[in-house]
Structure 1
Amino acid sequence: MRLAFQVAYIGDDFYGSQMQSGSRTVEGEVINACRGLRLFDDWREAGFAFSGRTDRGVHARRQICAFTTSRPDRAIERLNRILPGDCWCNGWAKTGDSFHPRYHAKTRTYRYYLYNDGSTDLARMQEAAALFLGKHNFTHFSRLKGKNPEKTIFSSHISAEDGFFVYEITATGYLWNMVRCVVASLTSVGRNELETDDITALLTAAPGMRHLLPAPPEGLILWDIDCGITFTPLQSGCKMLEASGERVRFFETMKKVNILLD
């Protein structure tokens, strides 16, 4: 049977999500847990896959992984018992044999929690956030590595919440460091270091404009992925997650690391 799981994790102690030899990663921990439960022997034969990558230090609320196993009940009932405390599953679903969480993802939503230290103007950031809607060239907002720089943004907005500015963006896919560079640009606008006209010029890949440096990874959360699947909730018992699964409580974590875009 092929199963999909919604996977959440605190990214502080992971060297990113993608499996890497000699480094602790989210994929590595999930695969090790599956092997420990004898859900499969070879992750390749099981078709194990994540919906995408997150960088070192980035968190996730609803990353999606999938694999095929002959012991689905064991996976559903025991996987959270085996996973480490900073990685857990909050939902599961039975899928078709051809399901791939990367290629079947319709949209991906990120949130960035930016500590409000009183130095940024929310109204200016909101005006700038709206400029990202639609199809744009993100050459100056990413590390391209030969990728197509054009991406279409379905939602882009920022609001104030519990001592933070919360930026949310939804698109089909992203470039490397793209969301963090967008956040850095919004913060610069909020501090009167950039104008909205500068954002417009950056989004047309105007020559002579400098590439933006990304905001720190600690405030970024892979918030949700829509694969057209209805997930059955799993009780994780994680103190960082409300039982409803509707909200990740990273506030204390972010206060601890004092996230500021200086």
Structure 2
Amino acid sequence: MRNIRLTIEYDGTDYFGWQIQKRKPTVQGKITKVLERILEEKIKLIGAARTDSGVHALGQVANFKTRNEKLTTDSLIKALNSLLPADIVIKEVRKVPDSFHARYSAKSKIYRYHILKQLLPSALERRFSWHIPESLHWKKIIEASKYFVGKYDFSPFSVTGSSRKSGQCAVRDFKIRKVKNLYILQIEANYFLYKMVRRIVGALIEVGRGKIEPEYIKVLLLKKASTLRAQTAPPHGLFLVKVKY
């Protein structure tokens, strides 16, 4: 048996997330079907992150085990990309130790969220960014973002549905940069709760609108308040960038 690791890029617009669902197109489902066609055996594909419907990936990681010892990794990547739809691309295929597990071996994940700050929407960016036409106080947003770095209970920034019992997560880095009219928010953590990044972005936008003070983020993280009145940012602005091992 060989353990094979895939690095995957995808446009999540037309998929109901990563995880296989009955009678619904998913990224995991599409790749599994193609792998089984190529390898002529049942495949259990394990993903590092279960991205939601509409969320994209630049560096999703998955692994599977196969009895096929003959097909080279070069041949497999060519076969996969020739059979997969254009919105899913396998960027790397390589053999890894038997103990490697895409999800449980991960040390941290990096996500990015794109906000398009301009008056008019963009026909080209509409699938990949949250368009916000009104003015935002970016100095306050940057100030508030710094409170997220550290180890806290992020339950106020999650929604029901997380498979993890504890809300403890360690955010290692949070950066915000601007490229023309596009603001890119990048966050790295050892673990992310269900919809955590999108809830964080939604809270920061409320800070930028003046509806929440930056210090209230710290109050929530220290569990001195439990209510977050902020919308969850839409999925199409979110990208899984990298999984670190």
Q: TM-score, normalised by structure 2?
A: 0.86
Match of 2:18 in 1: 17
Structure 2 counterpart of 1:154, from 153, 156, 172: 172
Q: 2:62 is matched by which residue type in structure 1?
A: C
Match of 1:222 in 2: 240
Distance 2:79 2:226 in 1: 55
Whether 1:134 and 2:150 are equivalent positions in the alignment is yes
Structure 2 counterpart of 1:57, from 54, 57, 69: 54
Match of 2:81 in 1: 80
Query: Any conservation in 2 of the 1:50–1:65 contact (CA below 8 Å)?
Result: yes
Q: How does 1:28-177 map to 2 (within 5 A)?
A: 28-37=29-38, 39-44=39-44, 48-69=45-66, 70=68, 71-73=71-73, 74-117=75-118, 119-145=135-161, 147-177=165-195
Structure 2 counterpart of 1:186, from 160, 182, 204: 204
Q: 1:98 is matched by which residue type in structure 2?
A: S
Distance 1:181 1:205 in 2: 16
Q: 2:190 is matched by which residue type in structure 1?
A: T
Query: Any conservation in 2 of the 1:138–1:205 contact (CA below 8 Å)?
Result: no
Deviation at 1:209, TM superposition (A): 2.2
Distance 1:174 1:216 in 2: 17
Given the superposition, is the C-alpha separation of residues 111 and 66 from structure 1 closer, same or farther in structure 2, using an over 3 Å criterion? same
Distance 2:61 2:193 in 1: 19
| SS of residue paired to 2:135 | coil
What are the ranges of 5 or more consecutive residues in structure 1 without an aligned counterpart?
228-262
Deviation at 1:52, TM superposition (A): 1.8
Deviations 1:153-204 (Å, cap 9, x if unpaired)?
A: 0001212113111100001110001000000111111121110121111212
Q: 2:221 is matched by which residue type in structure 1?
A: L
Q: 1:159 is matched by which residue type in structure 2?
A: R
Q: 2:90 is matched by which residue type in structure 1?
A: C
Query: Any conservation in 1 of the 2:203–2:228 contact (CA below 8 Å)?
Result: no
| SS of residue paired to 2:33 | helix
Given the superposition, is the C-alpha separation of residues 42 and 208 from structure 1 closer, same or farther in structure 2, using an over 3 Å criterion? closer
Distance 2:57 2:231 in 1: 22
Query: Any conservation in 2 of the 1:8–1:87 contact (CA below 8 Å)?
Result: yes
Distance 1:208 1:82 in 2: 48
Distance 1:64 1:4 in 2: 7
Count of matched residue pairs: 223
Query: Any conservation in 1 of the 2:56–2:239 contact (CA below 8 Å)?
Result: yes
Percent of matched pairs sharing the same residue: 31
Distance 1:210 1:95 in 2: 42
Deviation at 1:206, TM superposition (A): 2.8
Given the superposition, is the C-alpha separation of residues 139 and 49 from structure 1 closer, same or farther in structure 2, using an over 3 Å criterion? same
Query: Any conservation in 1 of the 2:43–2:65 contact (CA below 8 Å)?
Result: no
Distance 2:165 2:156 in 1: 13
Distance 1:170 1:40 in 2: 38
Distance 1:91 1:208 in 2: 43
Distance 2:186 2:72 in 1: 34
Deviation at 1:211, TM superposition (A): 5.4
Distance 1:80 1:223 in 2: 20
Query: Any conservation in 2 of the 1:142–1:176 contact (CA below 8 Å)?
Result: yes
What are the ranges of 5 or more consecutive residues in structure 2 without an aligned counterpart?
119-133
CA RMSD of aligned residues (A): 1.6
Distance 1:159 1:93 in 2: 33
Deviation at 1:93, TM superposition (A): 2.1
Deviation at 1:144, TM superposition (A): 4.4
